[in-house]
Amino acid sequence: MRPTESFDKRIVYNRKTFPKSGRVRDTKNGFYRNANMKRGNRRAGFRSNFELGIAKKLSSKKIPYEYEQMRLTYVPKPRTYTPDFHLTKHNIIIEAKGYFDKGDRVKMLLIKEQHPDLDIRIVFLNARNKIYKGSKTTYGAWADKNGFKWAEGSIPEEWLKDDDD
């Protein structure tokens, strides 16, 4: 047997095994979660295609917004929360959520409790997702229970209407 024939496409490199297909899945949590985003979108400053879609919809309707400009502090440990979108004309804060883990849920409750004057709304990519494996509670049910206005997929038209109309 020649040395090249004995080479299986599986390579053990730094204690990691790569599959025969040669494709390695991105990590679920962490920096590479949105690795499949187009390079131009990342250069545009958005963290996901979902946020990019929301920004495009707001721009097409000529709704003024700020993306990750506002900073809010909250405790028990002093931390900073940066909302995704601030609709300046309507004074609404929009948080775009694809994955809504426990840390995000706790943070949203602390922000709502410590800044009751803010109108914080959540747009879920899929509101029917469960908050954890085996749970009966969905993202949407959690938002209802905790008093957050929410939508699925995109910002509803009624959120964008002027109060003067």
Mean pLDDT of 66-77: 92
pLDDT at 47: 85
Say which residue the tokens 């049910």 belong to.
Answer: 141
Q: In this predicted model, what pLDDT tens digit does every residue of 101-121 receive, in sequence order? A: 999 999 999 999 999 999 999
Q: What is the largest CA-CA distance in the chain?
A: 81
**Tokens coding 145:** 């229970």
Which residue would you say has higher pLDDT here, 67 or 161? 67
Residue 83 has pLDDT above 50, yes or no: yes
Residue 130 has pLDDT above 70, yes or no: yes
Alpha carbons within 13 angstroms on the beta-carbon side of residue 18 total: 12
Q: How do residues 88-104 score in pLDDT, each as one tens digit?
A: 999 999 999 999 999 99
More confident residue, 64 or 30: 64
From residue 124, give the alpha-carbon distance in Å to each of 11, 31, 38, 128: 39, 20, 21, 9
Question: 74-78: long-range contacts (C-beta < 8 A, 24 or more apart)?
Answer: 74/107, 74/110, 74/111, 74/114, 74/115, 75/110, 75/114, 76/110
What's the rounded mean pLDDT across residues 49-56? Answer: 92
Q: What is the pLDDT of residue 32?
A: 47
Average pLDDT, the chain: 81
pLDDT in tens, 5-46: 555 545 444 445 555 555 555 554 444 445 555 565 555 678
pLDDT, average across residues 118-146: 95
Q: Could you tell me the pTM of the whole model?
A: 0.73
Using an 8 Å Cβ cutoff, are 50 and 96 in contact? yes
- All domains in the chain, ordered by first residue: 64-155 (3.40.91.30)
User: Which of residues 137 and 46 earns the better pLDDT score?
Assistant: 137
In percent, the amount of the chain with pLDDT more than 90 equals: 65
DSSP 8-class letter at 10: -
CB 67 within 8 Å of CB 85: yes
